[in-house]
Chain A
Amino acid sequence: MHPAPSVILFTTLSGLGFGLLFWLGLGFPPVKGWAAFGYFTLAYLLSVGGLLASVFHLGRPERALRAFTQWRSSWLSREGVCSVAALLTMAIYGAGLVFLGQNWTILGVIGAGLSLATVFTTGMIYAQLKTVPRWNTWVTPVLFLAFSISGGSLLAGQGTVTLILLLVTAGILLFWWQIGDGAMGASGSNLGTATGLGSIGRVTQFEAPHTGRNYLLNEFAFEVGRKQAAKLRVIALVAGFAVPTVCLLLPVSVFGLGIAAVAHFIGVAASRWLFFAEAEHVTAIYYGKAGAV
């Protein structure tokens, strides 16, 4: 799949943002007043920033509001609804903390729940797609949640908890890669099934329908080199997990936390780039690509 910067940015930022909101909603760190203001600003910058980025991904951003109507059937719509609900709830909760010094725990817990729900729906948007075998697994939303919670806890400065969460997340990521690499093969789709001609013999593409490019090729026929992918996987692991872990093991310092956060962000972004770049769409089979033969 074409790794569109807008989508990578969106999922990365909003993941961290809602992760942070989740922790704040549960009252970690227990902040009030200006401190709270700082944390909430960061959380909103990330989550809202992410949402905005995703709007730029639309062909017709001016109609974005329509996306709230189909929550009954569409995960994308549900994501919209959840995100807004989460942001509103947490806004009230946050206002309580910042301006009134009040901690409306229930509200916070609900907000935290909605934040996770948002991240879950994001994961489901991809996980639901049978057409992209690498994504089409229950592990995908779990991975999104893990990234979000661990990243959030890093930003929320949850010391040892963060360490454990980072470890777990890294594990899930490795596992997800593991099953992902075999997914296209396991999907059973190839030129034979795509054309129904497999029973006659080995099917290969002779000529693409047009010598010119088209939307489908731009979206679905993105191919990434094995070497490049391997390199990025290492970067994702080192930057996203190793570096933060080290920083966290060193004596606590704002500077250290800063590095940890930035490194983690880079790592997640790298893994997100791979998330799209490595994902093969069955439509590409018709163009002699992906699991064609």
Chain B
Amino acid sequence: MTSISPTINLSPKVSDEVRKTTCYMCACRCGINVHMKDGEVAYIEGNRDHPVNKGVLCAKGSAGIMQHNAPSRLRAPLKRVGPRGSGQFEEISWDEALDIAAGWLAPLRETDPSKLAFFTGRDQSQSFTSFWAQNFGTPNYAAHGGFCSVNMAAAGIYTMGGAFWEFGQPDWDRTKLFMLFGVAEDHDSNPIKMGIGRLKAQGGRIIGVNPIRTGYNAVADEWVGITPGTDGLFILALVHELLKAGKIDLEYLAQFTNAPVLVNSDPASPEHGLFLRNDAGQPLVMDRSTGEPAPFDQPGVRPDMAAVWEKDGVVHRPVMHLLAERYLSAEYGPDAVAGRCGVAADRIRDIAAELARVAFDEAFELPIAWTDFRGTRHTSMKGRPVSFHAMRGISAHSNGFQTCRSLHLLQILLGTVEVPGGFRFKPPYPKPVSAHPKPHYGVQAGKPLDGPHLGFVRGPEDLALKEDGTPARIDKAFTWENPMSSHGLMHMVISNAHAGDPYKIDTLFMYMANMSWNSTMNTSGVMNMLTDKDEHGAYVIPHIIYSDAYSSEMVAYADLILPDTTYLERHDCISLLDRPICEADAAADAIRWPVVEPDRDVRGFQTVLVQLANKMQLPGFTNADGSAKYEDYADYIVNHERKPGIGPLAGWRMNGNETSHGRGAPNLEQINRYIENGGFFVSHIPEDCAYMKPWNAGYQDWAVEMGLYDAPQPYIFDVYVETMRKFQLAAEGNGARQPPDHLRARIRETLDPLPIWYPPFEDSHVSEDNYPVHALTQRPMAMYHSWGTQNAWLRQIHGRNPLYVPTAIWQANGFAEGDWASVTSVHGSITVPVAHMAALNSNTVWTWNAIGKRKGAWALSEDATEATKGFLLNHLIHELLPPKGDGLRWANSDPVTGQAAWFDLRVRIEKARPQAEAQPAFDKLGSPVGVGPDTLTWKVKS
């Protein structure tokens, strides 16, 4: 007999209501549809209309329901009752919590605001938190960029007014060859996956440059299993081949970059290496039509990259000459670098040839007419379907800034930036350095800071140094040690505060950074610094205030905990003033709003900051009559104006009694408009402005209209970065501000205005024989740092992390499944489980990042695998390099930006006896929340 299927309900009710807000499981900030049943969150899916994710959702996003309901959620403000690090707290009221905080902070503000260090890790509201810090008056503010990827951001902005990170993207619809350096996941998580999918569907190809072949690199058509830290060499070898073959876009270089700009070539001059400028200070180029020097942007000028300018017996040469001369030299040739990179010379040539083939043989024209900043009208746009993307794999090295610069040089030589098929900026980028603020550090008791903390230095004169030449900031950002540290150095704050170097602070106020665990180097050292006492038995860091939403490792190390809501319970604003969610074709911003009310005594952290500001009557938060400007964060989002007409949100502002976008007066209904629109606002860039943005007059005008700029900001790309040359000049003895002698040589070598490669510092500080192996971490796509672990669904996917070992090392050590190994760096040793991996650089080991957890944290049982088998590499990484006999401890960071050099790590690996627990093992933390329930059968019955 044939079967008759039983009748089942094919149209069950899905939910009572869908509430659209923004995901917070990572910084990608996708749009989500939250399905509600009986007022509870029943199911979360992607929002199809949203510019970022267009309906898709990653594993973390879909698991948001488990995050929102996690048993690890903090329930009320906490006051420490046991010793720091014990995790013993008592729950207190918000009034008491705010009194305590204000009681510590207000006196600092009146006496010396710099005694407060306010650092905000995974902050998605930096324009607000920095505004708060600025009004408090402390120079000691930054988010996590310094230990994250400042090399990527700074190198991009200094070179081309925009970066990879989530600030730009390949032209996915048109690119045919996509080259990816050092990316496992990135912030643009879903867009990159969607792009790769689309690229492949169109028959496009991917080259993945990565020591490890997982994820994106697993689907890459070509895998380059490079040796960590050598990408700069590899890239400059590609540059060498392309130059040699003349496969570079001369037109593009001449028109849109400073390749033709004349460089002062007089060795005797104090301006040697700086640009020749006219009296108006405009850089000069040789004009082909006149044969005379002319300002680069003069209408009709035809910059000549070949000509030189002879003046007073000195032959001044354009950047192009210096560039070609350097990279044509044999030391940059494939044969010279192959061994060091672990990439065969032929392979390098093949890849260079492929780049050339696609960029030039597959070039195309888009019939889009546009006018450039020189007033020249173009009837079409030239497309070059090669695009690049890169992230921490090249930035998290001590040579990362120059490596990122090298990559930008490569794509600029190919003429693939901001052209159809190439790499495109997302608003508010492109934005030249000149449009960014400089760092501010002017402290006055009882007064706001004299300007925004972070910015882009233009030369030694902008360094954050006091009269006596000592660092003005606790993290020593913008000092000779790392002059261009645009994101600050969060990873140095605790050790500097503990050492009282450059000065002592009173209160360390942190938000959303698990600094006693996975976000810090030298983890056990940091735990000691946080708990260390002085000779009087007082804590060396007197006060620690921390805001977290969950029972993380860091909670135990604070004196006062300000418990945050979950992302579904509060107002947030993803602002164009901040790290926005724009696409290359559109400007966009978004909000979060309480789709459910908290069932605990918790408050959104930004609202708490507003309340603190009101208590202390901080200027930016207080009206002339002393009354509070803002009641809470939602109020601030709607009513705050950074400049007249420019607020946190660009959508639905008021123009008279019309709503208008971009510029406009506050609109009390703004948040409701956003909610009606699905939680976001998007404004599309006109078609003829979608490419060539830095030079496209049309785009410039649109950007001014949108409030991205106050006036058009056309500029040319800086393949040669004059600012860096200024630091070199200082190091050579020129100028008033002089670096300390021990840094002169390093500045001269590393701040080269043209991209260079030098070995990662750890290589020169430790013996490569004792520590022959590179050790790395990768982001698991289904985990977000430490906080995915509290998620009952995600932790089943990544509940422990083996150390992956390549075949050669696996065999050499006679490893077998289930074995353990001790992994030793110059700084420390860990003993962990190992597993074999074939698709791995033969001299590299790695593990998934931040899976290891401390016993007692995250509402997990004490014997959870994360705490017994999971581990961190952080114990092996130190914020300082080992002494090398010069009496100094050099920072384990990039000498240009201070970027933490996570991936310089070198280790030795030996077989070890099987362990009951991964080592080092720490004792259990007290938990303010206890352990989660045993069995979950999650269903909102209705």
Contact = CB atoms under 8 A, between A and B. Distances in A.
Q: Do A and B interact directly, with beta carbons closer than 8 Å?
A: yes
Contact of A72 (B1, B838, B865): B1
Interface in A189-248: 204, 206, 209-212
Interface string B760-803: 00000000000000000000000000000000000111111000
Nearest to B798: A211
B796 A211 contact: yes
Contacts of A211: 796-800, 865
Nearest to A212: B796
Contacts of A212: 795-797, 799
A204 B1 contact: no
B837 interface: yes
Contacts of A210: 796-797, 799
Nearest to A209: B797
Interface string B667-700: 0000000000000000000000000000000000
Given A204-B838, A211-B797, 8 more contacts: A72-B1, A206-B837, A210-B797, A211-B799, A211-B800, A211-B865, A212-B797, A212-B799
Nearest to B213: A206
Interface residues of B, number: 11
A212 B799 CA distance: 7
A211 B802 CA distance: 10
B723 to A, nearest CB: 45
A210 B799 CA distance: 8
> Main secondary structure on chain B at its contact with chain A?
loop
Interface of A: 72, 204, 206, 209-212
Contacts of A204: 838
B782 to A, nearest CB: 10
B279 to A, nearest CB: 64
A72 B2 CA distance: 12
Contacts of A72: 1
Contacts of B865: 211
A43 to B, nearest CB: 36
Contacts of B798: 211
Nearest to A72: B1
A72 B800 CA distance: 47
A22 B839 CA distance: 61
Interface string B836-880: 011100000000000000000000000001000000000000000
Contacts of B796: 210-212
A211 to B, nearest CB: 4
A210 B783 CA distance: 12
A37 B837 CA distance: 67
Contacts of A209: 797
A211 B847 CA distance: 14
Nearest to B797: A210
Nearest to B870: A211
A206 B212 CA distance: 13
Nearest to B817: A288
A72 B3 CA distance: 12
Contacts of B837: 206
Nearest to A214: B796
A212 B789 CA distance: 13
A261 to B, nearest CB: 43
A54 to B, nearest CB: 26
Contacts of A206: 837, 839
A209 B837 CA distance: 16
Contacts of B797: 209-212
Nearest to A202: B838
Nearest to A288: B817
Contacts of B1: 72
Contacts of B839: 206
A212 B864 CA distance: 11
A221 to B, nearest CB: 13
A142 to B, nearest CB: 31
Residue in A72, A204, A211 whose Cβ sees the most chain B Cβ within 10 Å: A211
Interface string B499-515: 00000000000000000
18 contacts: A72-B1, A204-B838, A206-B837, A206-B839, A209-B797, A210-B796, A210-B797, A210-B799, A211-B796, A211-B797, A211-B798, A211-B799, A211-B800, A211-B865, A212-B795, A212-B796, A212-B797, A212-B799
A284 to B, nearest CB: 15
Q: Which of A72, A204, A209, A212 has the most CB of B within 10 A?
A: A212
Interface in B796-839: 796-800, 837-839
Interface in B411-438: none
Interface string B168-197: 000000000000000000000000000000
A204 B835 CA distance: 12
Contacts of B800: 211
A210 B782 CA distance: 11
B837 to A, nearest CB: 7
Closest 7 CB pairs of A and B: A212-B796, A211-B799, A210-B796, A211-B800, A210-B797, A212-B799, A211-B798
A212 to B, nearest CB: 4
A66 to B, nearest CB: 14
Nearest to B796: A212
A211 B839 CA distance: 20
Nearest to A207: B835
A59 to B, nearest CB: 15
A109 B569 CA distance: 75
Most chain A C-beta atoms within 10 Å of own C-beta, residue among B797, B838, B839: B797
A34 to B, nearest CB: 49
Nearest to B865: A211
Contacts of B799: 210-212
A206 B838 CA distance: 9
Nearest to A204: B838
A96 to B, nearest CB: 38
A209 B798 CA distance: 9
B694 to A, nearest CB: 43
Nearest to A206: B837
B867 to A, nearest CB: 13
A60 to B, nearest CB: 16
A209 B799 CA distance: 11
Contacts of B795: 212
Nearest to B838: A204
Nearest to A213: B796
B636 to A, nearest CB: 43
A206 B795 CA distance: 18
Nearest to B801: A211
B918 to A, nearest CB: 14
Nearest to B869: A211
A129 B838 CA distance: 35
A217 to B, nearest CB: 12
A211 B869 CA distance: 11
A166 B498 CA distance: 82
A209 B865 CA distance: 16
B422 to A, nearest CB: 33
A47 B300 CA distance: 102
B130 to A, nearest CB: 39
B136 to A, nearest CB: 44
A209 B59 CA distance: 13
A206 B837 CA distance: 7
B760 to A, nearest CB: 28
A214 to B, nearest CB: 8
A89 B865 CA distance: 56
A211 B838 CA distance: 20
A208 to B, nearest CB: 10
A204 B817 CA distance: 13
A206 B836 CA distance: 8
Interface string B354-368: 000000000000000
Nearest to B800: A211
Nearest to B839: A206
Contacts of B838: 204
Residue among A204, A206, A209 facing the most chain B CB atoms (10 A cut-off)? A206
A206 B218 CA distance: 12
A65 B682 CA distance: 61
B848 to A, nearest CB: 10
Nearest to B782: A210
